[in-house]
Amino acid sequence: MDSQGPGRHAGRRGLTSPLRAVRRSLGASMVLFSTSAGIVLIAVLLVAVTMTIRNDVFSERRAAILTDAHQRTVAAQAAFDVATVDTADELATTAQAQLAAINDSFAGAGGVGVSLRRAEDETATTVINDLTTDADLAALVTDDLVAQVDAGQAGTEYSQSVGIPDSAGGTDPGLVVGTRVNLPLAGGYDLFLVYTLAPEQHVIDLATRAIVIAGAGFLLILIIGLWALASRVLIPIRRASLAAERLAAGHLNERLPVVGENEIATLSRSFNNMADSLEAQIQAWENLSKVERLFVSDVSHELRTPLASIRLAAEQIWQARDEIHDPFAARSLEILMREIDRFEQMLSDLLEISRIDSGRVQLRAAEADITATLRGVLDLVAVHVEASGSPIRLHTPAEPVVAEVDVARVERILRNLIVNALEHAEGSPIDITVAANDDAVAVRVRDHGVGMSPDVVKKVFDRFYRADPSRKRTLGGTGLGLSISLEDAVLHGGTLTAWGWPADGASFLLTLPRRLGPDATPGNFTKPGPLGVVPDDAPPVSRAGVNAVQTDEAVQVSPALTPSPASRRSDVDRDDDAGIADPTGSDPETPGRGADIGVDTSPTAKTPEDTLARAQREEERP
């Protein structure tokens, strides 16, 4: 294993954090950009100014050095011209004295050494040794400079930049000036004067240091200024973001302070206008919703009295049905009894929704075997199962699945899910699976019928929603069954989730905690539970379209793929559906998948056909 792996990962994390901060913060982005731009600007300025100062200083200093060297060369030549020498030794003494005089006199001009060399093309017989005031400095004279002097004219100065060793072991910039002089008896010799440029380099270093310090100060001021400006601009934006979050969370009185007339003030005024409009619209919707709930509740209660009278009269006629000899009248009486049952069921659903909306619902907790409860529900809907032609396939564990639930509400949930599956299975098998773990129980009802598109799955639990209004209704219903089932599941602290795909059927999963909270309050269980809503035989492409409604929030998972056009989604927006404005006035023969079967679709007063079917089932039981 690579021992440096953790170090590399730590390095990546160290680099990722600043990058994430830059991506998430406009202020950090502005500071980073300004810092980068400032560094580049200071570097360019430093190079440009330094080069300008260097060139100007060195150019002026070179000119001064050449002038000084020319004057000293002329003086030295004049001294050699008037000197009276007869031997080489006298000439050497005179030359040595002259080099010493030059070396002593030009120190104030930056001179550090003098060297005298015999010209390579000189043929005179009198020869003296090469002279120098400093052997180390004599080595700075290069062959190129010697060649220039030898090839040049007498009395002309030639120069070359060199590095002069200093006492600290480094080098200072310098200039070597060479020219030709004529010595008595010996002829032409090359005179080299070495000048140091250390003072000028020191000036340039000071200027560079000053520019760097000034640039760093400018960069710091720039960063602080931009940060302050960004904060001044971003703080109102952050305040607006927090206000928007609070507004989205339901704090409709959230407003922003308006200061000044700038763009931030315009943003604040626009936000406040939007908040005022939203608050007014939401308040209007709440008032309308209250009126609607009150209307539904009042109408439901008011209709129970005339409905009870109609049922009493109908039951009196039903008891005397043997005296009715007209087949048409007898059939009309059967239809009357069925429709009275359906009408009564509609009122029960509406009353239940009213109770849920008012918060006056209390669970009646009891220990129950979910498998036994499911079998009891199947017995209740046996007539519908036989009429639909869809076989029921049960997948239950061998041991009892016991949970603390409100049995009546769980029965209602299971009845709604099963009858809803019968409505849309179109004769295909229906798989009902029961599973449990340590803290939850689950029941999944899976049909293989027409299915649902992911868009329909998102809205299937909405009240009065009908996915396909043109679909013929076979078992009746109010469009509230799944909505009531969802509320019943949430009251237990459970979830009710849906999955579907066109032509591949649908699946509804009920998951409930094994134990309720204190005083029959909602319980808890570890998500996701013992079963998944997507069945094992679902096509892979459909596994993205899942709609989950959890205890504390509704989670709607949008499909990753475009829904197939073969869906039961209504082309009519559900806000325009007549079932929302008048649920009792919608067409009783056209539900969709969302127009689920009511809480109890079996009639309380049986027709002769129902009684005969029940008797046959009793006889067939062992």
Distances (CA, A) of 258 to 85, 155, 265, 268, 391: 102, 84, 5, 6, 68
Question: Mean pLDDT by 10-residue block, N- to C-terminus, for the chain (622 residues)?
Answer: 48 56 69 80 83 85 88 88 85 88 85 87 84 83 85 82 83 89 87 89 85 84 81 80 86 85 85 89 83 75 82 89 87 88 80 76 91 94 91 94 94 94 92 95 95 88 71 60 91 94 93 93 92 89 54 35 32 34 34 37 39 46 42
pLDDT at 351: 78
**DSSP of 127-160:** ----EES-HHHHTT--HHHHHHHHHS-TT--EEE
At 139, list the tokens.
């080595």
The structural domains of the chain, ordered by start, are 27-204 (3.30.450.20), 255-361 (1.10.287.130), 365-620 (3.30.565.10)
Q: For the beta carbon of residue 477, count every other beta carbon within 10 angstroms.
A: 26
Asked if 458 and 482 count as a contact pair (C-beta separation under 8 A), the reply is no
Asked if 157 and 178 count as a contact pair (C-beta separation under 8 A), the reply is yes
pLDDT at 252: 83
CA 231 to mean position of chain CA atoms:
23
pLDDT at 598: 35
Q: For the beta carbon of residue 321, count every other beta carbon within 10 angstroms.
A: 14
pLDDT at 532: 92
Distances (CA, A) of 459 to 57, 111, 210, 499, 570: 82, 96, 71, 11, 11
Query: Taking the C-alpha atoms of 332, 334, 338 and 344 in order, what is their torsion angle to the nearest 10 degrees?
Result: 80
Question: DSSP class of residue 536?
Answer: T
Measured in residues, the chain has a length of 622
pLDDT at 21: 62
Asked if 579 and 350 count as a contact pair (C-beta separation under 8 A), the reply is no
**Residue 509 three-state SS:** strand
pLDDT at 604: 38
E strands, 223-297, are none
